[in-house]
Amino acid sequence: MNMPFTLSSIVMVMLAIAIDLVVGDPRSIPHPVVLIGRFISAFERLWNRGTVQQRRVSGFLLTIIVVGGVWGISWLALALLERLHPGLALITELWLLSTTLAIKGLGDAARAVVEPLTKGDLPAARKALGMIVGRDTQNLDEAEITRGTVETVAENTVDGITAPLFFALIGGAPLALAYKAVNTLDSMVGYKNQRYADFGYASAKLDDMVNCVPARLTALCLWLAGLLLNVSGVLTLRWQGALRGTCRDAPGHPSPNAGWPEAMVARLLGVQLGGTNFYQNVASHRATLGEPLESLRVAHITATVSLMHGAWMLFMLLSVVVIMGLLFIF
């Protein structure tokens, strides 16, 4: 319970990964992120008002309350369960850890787009993509549907897999859940529009901070996964020059972190991501990532899912090496 940064943390995290891969996110079981979202929504309605300064202060307080509260409540709950029975604490922490991961869910979401797209059923593919992105999807062709899916899988490899793993290895379920609280705050109030620019300022900045290291580690793991998949003959990927190209492209993304996994995937696939998206019929222009050496097609989605799996596996392997090295040294 409340694992130290040791081999035991790796065992717990690997068990949580196994649970996520088998069970995923069953709708019949309440999800902590849903509860966090409801709390944020309630307080946003009450506190998001007043002057610019008042909104910023309220948003800062909300961020502290939500993130600190999630960590504190989960830590206290596990501590109380530990007193009742260590087995209860163990089972609860494993479940809580599994809820911070989205390996199965992300793969399933990608397949939900691939299946109709393979059959040429664009309306069904657009609908499936609309379930996982905020952009308008009703008029997208195969290439744009593919782009949206590839970008989402690449970006969420960080938010839904490697970043939660990163914080779980450091601080167990309480810290992994605190990270998900930060991520949820950013997804709900971290927008640069009239309503949220000030109220969500603290949430957006904190999300940028906590994702800084995981995003760049993920890009590296994606590159290593691309190298291994290429050498093994599973996929033909353009891994040579991908690191240099990613370092050049990523800073052009609106997000200081999302550009790293997206640029790396674009470079490995030899496609161009980014460009113009529409949100409620309003155009949003973003810098392009990668080079259009290939036309975007459905096969690029399955390749991205393979890279996603390779990245988190390598992330865990590297974590084992680092932790064993630290234990040997100290």
Whole-number pLDDT of residue 193: 86
Whole-number pLDDT of residue 2: 47
The parts of the chain modelled with pLDDT lower than 70 are 1-6, 327, 330
Provide, for the chain, the percentages of residues in helix, strand and coil under a 3-state DSSP scheme, each rounded to the nearest 5: 70, 5, 25
Alpha helical stretches, state H, 119-141: 122-130
Q: Taking a C-beta distance cutoff of 8 angstroms, is the pair 200, 190 a contact?
A: yes
Structure tokens at 68: 């600190």
The size of the chain, in residues, is 330
Q: Taking a C-beta distance cutoff of 8 angstroms, is the pair 169, 9 a contact?
A: yes
Q: Taking a C-beta distance cutoff of 8 angstroms, is the pair 129, 148 a contact?
A: yes
Counting beta carbons within 10 angstroms of the beta carbon of residue 200, is it exposed (0 to 12), middle (13 to 18) or buried (19 or more)? buried
In tens, the pLDDT along 287-303 reads: 999 999 999 999 999 99
Q: Within a 10 A sphere around the Cβ of 202, how many other Cβ atoms? A: 22
276 phi, psi to nearest 5 deg? -100, 125
Half-sphere exposure of 8 (CA within 13 A, CB side): 9
Rounded Cα distance between 138 and 202, Å, is 33
Whole-number pLDDT of residue 234: 86
Does this model's pTM top 0.75? My answer is yes
Q: How far is CA 14 from CA 9, 17, 97, 101, 316, in A?
A: 9, 5, 10, 11, 8
High-pLDDT (> 70) share of the chain, %: 97
Rounded Cα distance between 113 and 289, Å, is 22
Whole-number pLDDT of residue 326: 72
- Fill in the DSSP letter of residue 159: I
Q: Taking a C-beta distance cutoff of 8 angstroms, is the pair 101, 20 a contact?
A: yes
In tens, the pLDDT along 222-281 reads: 999 999 999 888 888 999 999 999 999 999 999 999 999 999 999 999 999 999 999 888
* Residues whose CB is less than 8 angstroms from the CB of residue 2 and which lie 6 or more positions away in sequence, other chains included: 75, 78, 79, 93, 171, 172, 173, 174
- Specify which residues 321 forms β-bridges with: none
Whole-number pLDDT of residue 5: 57
* Residues whose CB is less than 8 angstroms from the CB of residue 307 and which lie 6 or more positions away in sequence, other chains included: 154, 157, 222, 225, 226, 229, 265, 268
Cα distance between the two ends of the chain: 22
Per-residue H/E/C for 277-302: EEECCEEEECCCECCCCCCCCCHHHH
